[in-house]
């Protein structure tokens, strides 16, 4: 028998050429991804330190530290309140026209306070300050007494730091102390007045 003739084999199609640039890019992709992840981790860590642990930022980079909020110091007025404040005109015996502000200032601090200083301000009819006087608490003066006093005696009374009978010293928590502020040389366009605490000191 004659052997069957072998069928000629078709040549395999050549492999598609691969661009060297494309191959290199596929090899670099994992490296680029790792670098990006590392950068994100570093940035996230820096942000976390900046906001939650700024104390770990070196002094050489202090300009990058967040600015601390400045808390205003209490000069002894934050817990002082006013009660029954009134203002009235008084004519003195020597024909001086006076404006008298009186009231009570209360110690709302948990500990005693001393030397409470109060400021009164007269505003004109436009709301602008035109007169200002300060007086220590604990020096009450009735209108009848004010009529008889000279300007110097009134000023001396308002400057009595300890108050009458040391009533402006070691004021217990919750206690109220009277005050009197007397204005002279009043403006013609007087509108209203304000009262505020200026300072106080810790008691014993």
Give mean pLDDT, residues 109-119: 98
For position 119, which CATH number holds? Answer: 2.60.40
Among residues 38, 64, 90, the one where a domain terminates is: 64
Q: Does 12 fall in a domain?
A: no
**Gap between the Cα atoms of 129 and 113, Å rounded:** 29
Asked if residues 63 and 49 have their Cβ atoms less than 8 Å apart, the reply is: no
pTM > 0.75: no
Q: What angle do CA 82, 84, 87 make, to 5 degrees?
A: 105
Q: So what's the pLDDT on residue 1?
A: 46
Q: Does 182 fall in a domain?
A: yes
Q: Are residues 173 and 114 in the same domain?
A: yes
Q: Does 32 fall in a domain?
A: yes
Q: Are residues 53 and 102 in the same domain?
A: no
Backbone angles phi, psi at 157, to 5 degrees: -65, -40
Kindly tell me if the per-residue pLDDT of 64 is higher than 60: no
More confident residue, 164 or 204: 164
Percent of the chain past pLDDT 70, that is, above it, reads 72
Q: Are residues 90 and 178 in the same domain?
A: yes
Query: Domain span at residue 157?
Result: 80-202
Q: So what's the pLDDT on residue 29?
A: 62
Split into its structural domains, the chain has a count of 2
Q: Does 37 fall in a domain?
A: yes
Say how many Å lie between the first and final Cα of the chain, rounded: 133
């Amino acid at each position: 028998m004659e052997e069957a003739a072998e069928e000629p084999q078709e040549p395999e199609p050549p492999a598609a050429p691969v661009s060297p640039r494309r191959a290199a890019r596929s090899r670099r992709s994992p490296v680029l991804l790792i670098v990006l992840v590392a950068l994100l981790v570093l940035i996230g860590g820096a942000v976390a330190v900046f906001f939650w642990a700024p104390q770990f930022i070196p002094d050489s980079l202090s300009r990058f530290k967040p600015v601390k909020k400045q808390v205003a110091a209490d000069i002894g007025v934050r817990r002082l309140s006013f009660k029954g404040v009134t203002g009235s005109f008084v004519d003195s015996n020597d024909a001086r026209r006076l404006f008298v502000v009186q009231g009570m200032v209360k110690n709302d601090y948990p500990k005693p306070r001393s030397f409470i200083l109060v400021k009164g301000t007269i505003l004109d009819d436009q709301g602008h300050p035109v007169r200002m006087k300060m007086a220590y608490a604990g020096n009450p003066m009735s209108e009848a007494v004010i009529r008889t006093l000279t300007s110097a005696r009134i000023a001396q009374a308002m400057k009595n730091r300890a108050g009458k009978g040391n009533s402006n010293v070691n004021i217990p928590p919750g206690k109220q102390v009277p005050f009197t502020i007397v204005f002279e040389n009043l403006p013609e366009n007087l509108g209203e007045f304000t009262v505020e605490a200026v300072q106080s000191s810790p008691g014993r």
